[in-house]
Structure 1
């Protein structure tokens, strides 16, 4: 009892102290208002913990067990509090540090904080007992684990085979992210709690930079992280589906995702969109496990994954909204849901905030960067809806209905209009498209099942926010996070048919083989040779970059390409790192250094300038480069050797 009073007293003193500090900054140091907000947040957290302690007797049974655990193990509470403080401190110090300084120490401080917070919930941990349970579980599931390992290996092979050349083009955005990753790694290590190109969190560049440290700073090395992420998403999809719908649906969903041409494509790009599916399936699986077992660690891990998603692509930020809406739905349809899980859900929220805190502090300091991308692509904030109404003379309702149709029909009819993928078929193959509709209808009819409710919330929320309310749907790069949901819908449709009659059940393996064949054949045999990914400039940048990277000299490149293309194009910069080059404006005449060789590159739109350079520097080597996809002229190279 005395220890309880001491703890409550310390929380009260901490809350009052932080509140006084926050108000001091608001009143006397107004130019540092952000620091005042930080201290006030710490005060509110302290007061919240104090209130929680004083009202624990009226809390739910699950929350009461958690609080008893905290009261009986104060050192674990201290470890959790210290971990949360370290994570917050890392973000606070990152805001004070110059961008040119090193941030490795703050990254380790944040990692230590998050790890400490999670360990506080995992301990006490008996390695002996855990080892015994693990080997018993391994023996009992060895056959299924062997098949699962084989499936993951096949998934990885489909995503990692010849990454250097499939897709053949390196996209401009891929190259830009690759350069950002290399620059962030330094040395010194850049700020991982900031934002960079297109307001993308720099932490996502860090993952790809570490991947290139491991696999090499090549096109394949850049894309390797995505291939691993895509294969892991097959695993988390299996775990989620098995937890919610059982073993049969889990195997079907994992197999379908493993061979999905849509998911395979984005798993082979050096871009962070592919992480969306991993974040959402992992967070939902941990939440489902937590709701079933009432284990606080699962809730904390689900929150941690949700917070970590903020450091990835913008689509991963939907994970928190999906979780929130699903839990609100459970609260509305289940009696005493909040009573049973209230304390554990609060723990999930705390974990998410702790993990995302450094980036959230950055957004507080630069609020425009948090929503800048949304403002660019939203049909409302970008002005698209108003412009379209004026141009087409159609009503807003009619345009919104068209947006909805394009989005919903992306899996069966409407094609992706962007060069991020731009396939000649919908995002689902012919057979999967039919099964998807069946699965969607079945889940909708049985929406009161918690598993189906979760899947429907996930699908419709992502569809509306990711496509219906954004420009140019269905832009596939914004919806990689829905790929696992599509596979689950298809699996549910196939499972429903299989359960109708014994004859349909026997056809299931043949249906899976047909779907796998359709997807793999389309992607590798039909789509890949077209080199359509990344648009024509990506093909030019890739081919030119590969040629320049092979040249062992210090020639300067004079790029006669603007305004069609620029020397700073991402693919060109990444592949031909270290090659010196410059853009040549239309009509301008470059003045090469006679002591160094020169390479003049002419795009077809600027080809009339070649005669001027040929006359000024006669005797050069001229070489036209054509596309191996359709034979069109990509560029003309005119190479002049040094004269001194």
Structure 2
């Protein structure tokens, strides 16, 4: 971290914090050769993707047109930058030490997200499996409309992103969750760049170290829900937009809009990002003064253009199906008519003041209470570890002081960026927490996950930076103590997730059965001997065991079903309670031909015995 100055340090160095872009100022002819083809790509691609967005026969053409329109817009923005070529743009160059630490932390984060990916969490939540089912639809013809809507009226583009690893590995748990690993790492990298611009390199590195093993961040980055898509889009869009404000360049502003537009087609939490972009522009203008307002306004317009191009086909879909827009959001808004009875049962009053107080109290439990209310995560501890409470409070005070700093020469990026990070956490807690039912429901808060610990990172980095005033030896000691603290906290968090939370998230019998069918491609049917009825329609079966035959019989009634093959052919998977006793004929004939394998210990709360049995007769 030594030698890697943050925004405040660069400003104090005067012209050392700036550089010349190119050897000369841009001319009106620079970038012109790119303008015509970019305009053609933008127009033709936009027309094709909007006109044929739901035409299954032109699916590939729609995708190509959509990508061409995006490339065309970015090409126009780049050409405009070439013509303008700002004489000076801030740049905080990467040092070799920073790059090494950054890559090492990102590698550690990747290892924690890839470890036992298919097994932890063992539970197969119905929402995760629904994402898998929707993604698997893109693996066969006819593919669904790329810009239509699917499960719970969520846009299909997010499910298409989930399907990309399945093109190589098929519809497996590993493939479903591997897309989350990639997007989770992208969200950490985006948050790093965002915080690096706002508060400097040391704070960004400390935050990345905290996030590498943070249970919430780890869970988002290793489960097949589409929430992490919104998280990654939010962090990347905001990082690009802050970079556009600082440099005056058009390309990152347009890129921020494109990423924002893609994010709007994933999980609903990303709908907060446009408001974040506006808030960041306003804070930047307020911090930089009147001359900056024009540049901030231009950046907002370019971001809006990028979002329009990225969402244009989906907008046409909503125009043809207006009832789908906002339907799910209306069901979870706390003051909405569709949730009135639910809120009344939870609060015991329909008074707005009582509801707001109840909601705020529940959101506060995210920090100091029992944690999450969702089954998708269900973490029962505070989302800010208790070890971080002192630096978190100190960081909040320090961030407020930096955001309000008005001394001459105060770096606007530091003021606006720090104020925005605090505002972003607050905006998310209000929009995704206080204003929605059953808070704190972590999926609705996912867009703040990579920056939730920013105040703690700011305080720890500030304390480390202050140690330089005491000399080399004290600074080396402070560096060692900080590294030891981060390693200890990372070990504790990883242990808390994989040993503590992982054990609590053990699957039920259904999860084990679905996994077994996926491991045995020869199985064409399941014969369930448990007395309790099974939910054969559950999404876990729909994703991992599609088209299989499911039957329930009593062990005492015999296993005559095994004489015939399942409807689709193949073997039977016989599932029975541990220690089930069978008639001698059954045990000696059919079950003897099967392979008995009790599940490994700890896999599921409900254990069972099973056999893979080849039927004697035909269908």
Please give the TM-score of this superposition, normalised by the length of structure 1: 0.76
Match of 2:232 among 268, 278, 281: 278
Distance across 1 between alignment mates of 2:438 and 2:429: 13
Question: Structure 1's 116 and 561: CA in aligned 2 closer, same or farther, altered over 3 A?
Answer: farther
1:469 equivalent to 2:439? Answer: no
Contact 1:599 / 1:637 at 8 angstroms: preserved in 2?
A: no
Q: Which has the higher helix share?
A: 1
Question: Structure 1's 79 and 562: CA in aligned 2 closer, same or farther, altered over 3 A?
Answer: farther
Distance across 2 between alignment mates of 1:561 and 1:469: 43
SS, match of residue 568 in structure 1: coil
Moved more, 490-499 or 554-563: 554-563
1:427 equivalent to 2:383? Answer: yes
Distance across 2 between alignment mates of 1:248 and 1:337: 27
Q: What's the CA shift string for 1:186-211, capped at 9, x where partnerless?
A: 23443211111111211111122111
Q: Which runs of 5 or more structure 1 residues have no equivalent in the other structure? A: 1-67, 127-136
Distance across 2 between alignment mates of 1:188 and 1:316: 29
1:120 equivalent to 2:71? Answer: no
Matches within 5 A, 1:3-152: 76-95=34-53, 97=55, 100-123=56-79, 141-152=95-106
Matches within 5 A, 1:171-320: 171-320=125-274
Residue in 2 that maps onto 1:63: none
Distance across 1 between alignment mates of 2:207 and 2:401: 20
SS, match of residue 120 in structure 2: coil
Residue in 2 that maps onto 1:567: 536
1:164 equivalent to 2:133? Answer: no
SS, match of residue 375 in structure 1: helix
Residue in 2 that maps onto 1:595: 564
**What's the C-alpha RMSD, in Å, of the aligned pairs?**
3.8
Distance across 1 between alignment mates of 2:187 and 2:194: 10
SS, match of residue 217 in structure 1: coil
Displacement of 1:436: 2.5
Distance across 2 between alignment mates of 1:192 and 1:115: 18
Question: Structure 1's 402 and 352: CA in aligned 2 closer, same or farther, altered over 3 A?
Answer: same
Distance across 2 between alignment mates of 1:592 and 1:87: 56
Question: Structure 1's 296 and 639: CA in aligned 2 closer, same or farther, altered over 3 A?
Answer: closer
1:351 equivalent to 2:325? Answer: no
Residue in 2 that maps onto 1:368: 323
Contact 1:229 / 1:267 at 8 angstroms: preserved in 2?
A: yes
Displacement of 1:215: 4.4
Moved more, 553-562 or 344-353: 553-562
Displacement of 1:313: 1.4
Distance across 2 between alignment mates of 1:384 and 1:635: 40
Contact 2:184 / 2:228 at 8 angstroms: preserved in 1?
A: yes
Distance across 2 between alignment mates of 1:375 and 1:381: 6
Contact 1:262 / 1:428 at 8 angstroms: preserved in 2?
A: no
Match of 2:393 among 437, 441, 444: 437
Distance across 2 between alignment mates of 1:113 and 1:148: 34
Question: Structure 1's 583 and 179: CA in aligned 2 closer, same or farther, altered over 3 A?
Answer: farther
Question: Structure 1's 350 and 489: CA in aligned 2 closer, same or farther, altered over 3 A?
Answer: same
Displacement of 1:216: 4.6
Contact 1:559 / 1:566 at 8 angstroms: preserved in 2?
A: no
Q: Which runs of 5 or more structure 2 residues have no equivalent in the other structure? A: 1-25, 83-91, 405-414
Residue in 2 that maps onto 1:326: 280
Question: Structure 1's 185 and 600: CA in aligned 2 closer, same or farther, altered over 3 A?
Answer: closer
Moved more, 172-181 or 291-300: 172-181
Displacement of 1:403: 1.1
Contact 2:49 / 2:63 at 8 angstroms: preserved in 1?
A: no
Contact 2:121 / 2:505 at 8 angstroms: preserved in 1?
A: yes
Residue in 1 that maps onto 2:108: 154
SS, match of residue 290 in structure 2: coil
Contact 1:286 / 1:299 at 8 angstroms: preserved in 2?
A: yes
Question: Structure 1's 617 and 94: CA in aligned 2 closer, same or farther, altered over 3 A?
Answer: farther
Moved more, 262-271 or 204-213: 204-213
Contact 1:101 / 1:190 at 8 angstroms: preserved in 2?
A: no
Question: Structure 1's 212 and 551: CA in aligned 2 closer, same or farther, altered over 3 A?
Answer: closer
1:335 equivalent to 2:290? Answer: yes
Match of 2:422 among 456, 467, 471: 456
Q: What's the CA shift string for 1:43-89, capped at 9, x where partnerless?
A: xxxxxxxxxxxxxxxxxxxxxxxxx9788866544344333323432
Contact 2:371 / 2:380 at 8 angstroms: preserved in 1?
A: yes
SS, match of residue 193 in structure 1: coil
Contact 2:50 / 2:313 at 8 angstroms: preserved in 1?
A: yes
Distance across 2 between alignment mates of 1:303 and 1:563: 52
Question: Structure 1's 78 and 573: CA in aligned 2 closer, same or farther, altered over 3 A?
Answer: same
Contact 1:531 / 1:629 at 8 angstroms: preserved in 2?
A: no
Match of 1:511 among 467, 481, 485: 485
Distance across 2 between alignment mates of 1:528 and 1:512: 22
SS, match of residue 478 in structure 1: helix
Please give the TM-score of this superposition, normalised by the length of structure 2: 0.79
Contact 2:283 / 2:416 at 8 angstroms: preserved in 1?
A: no
Distance across 2 between alignment mates of 1:426 and 1:388: 24
Distance across 2 between alignment mates of 1:369 and 1:459: 29
Question: Structure 1's 246 and 633: CA in aligned 2 closer, same or farther, altered over 3 A?
Answer: closer
Q: What's the CA shift string for 1:6-65, capped at 9, x where partnerless?
A: xxxxxxxxxxxxxxxxxxxxxxxxxxxxxxxxxxxxxxxxxxxxxxxxxxxxxxxxxxxx
Matches within 5 A, 1:377-526: 377-381=332-336, 383-389=338-344, 393-394=348-349, 395-448=351-404, 449-498=415-464, 505-506=478-479, 507-526=481-500
Q: What's the CA shift string for 1:335-362, capped at 9, x where partnerless?
A: 2443343333312211111111111221
Contact 1:560 / 1:603 at 8 angstroms: preserved in 2?
A: yes
Q: What's the CA shift string for 1:588-610, capped at 9, x where partnerless?
A: x9995953268587899xx9xx9
Distance across 1 between alignment mates of 2:388 and 2:166: 35
Question: Structure 1's 421 and 614: CA in aligned 2 closer, same or farther, altered over 3 A?
Answer: farther
Distance across 2 between alignment mates of 1:358 and 1:576: 33
Distance across 1 between alignment mates of 2:30 and 2:616: 83
Residue in 2 that maps onto 1:28: none
Contact 2:281 / 2:300 at 8 angstroms: preserved in 1?
A: no
SS, match of residue 422 in structure 1: coil
Displacement of 1:411: 2.6
Question: Structure 1's 566 and 285: CA in aligned 2 closer, same or farther, altered over 3 A?
Answer: same
